[in-house]
Amino acid sequence: MIGAAALAAAAIGAMPVGVGTHEYRFGLYRTSVRPGAVQFNLHDFGEDAHNLVVSGPRGYRSAVSPDVRPGHDVAFVVRLRRRGVYRLVCVKPGHAARGMRATLRVR
């Protein structure tokens, strides 16, 4: 588990990307970022808990974000070092199949 100090250090200088979650979709407030640290700020507007995994070029796959519960927020920091297209997916059972995915471009 990463300590609070390590998370804070990783978040400094991270590009913020707001993500609204709802059954069964993601709403991204920013669709492209520069390479580097990205902080996904998730807010759950729905009735079910959701999470987020980021996958991208050359087999990149992030850890799974903490669950965000209805009405709550979660901040999740990843490093997207390569340019390209990244897929954001909720890995809760059945959510991705119902359309809970989005695309983020690193330019």
Question: What are the tens digits of pLDDT across the range 28-66?
Answer: 999 999 999 999 999 999 999 999 999 999 999 999 999
When divided into structural domains, the chain yields a total of 1
Q: How far is CA 86 from CA 1, 55, 57, in A?
A: 25, 6, 7
CATH number at 101 reads: 2.60.40.420
Question: What are the tens digits of pLDDT across the range 56-94?
Answer: 999 999 999 999 999 999 999 999 999 999 999 999 999
Model confidence at 7: pLDDT above 70:
no
In this predicted structure, what is the pLDDT of residue 11? 61
Host domain of residue 18 = 4-106
Closest CA to 96 of 57, 43, 53, 64: 53
Mean pLDDT of the chain: 92
Question: What are the tens digits of pLDDT across the range 94-103?
Answer: 999 999 999 9
In this predicted structure, what is the pLDDT of residue 98? 97
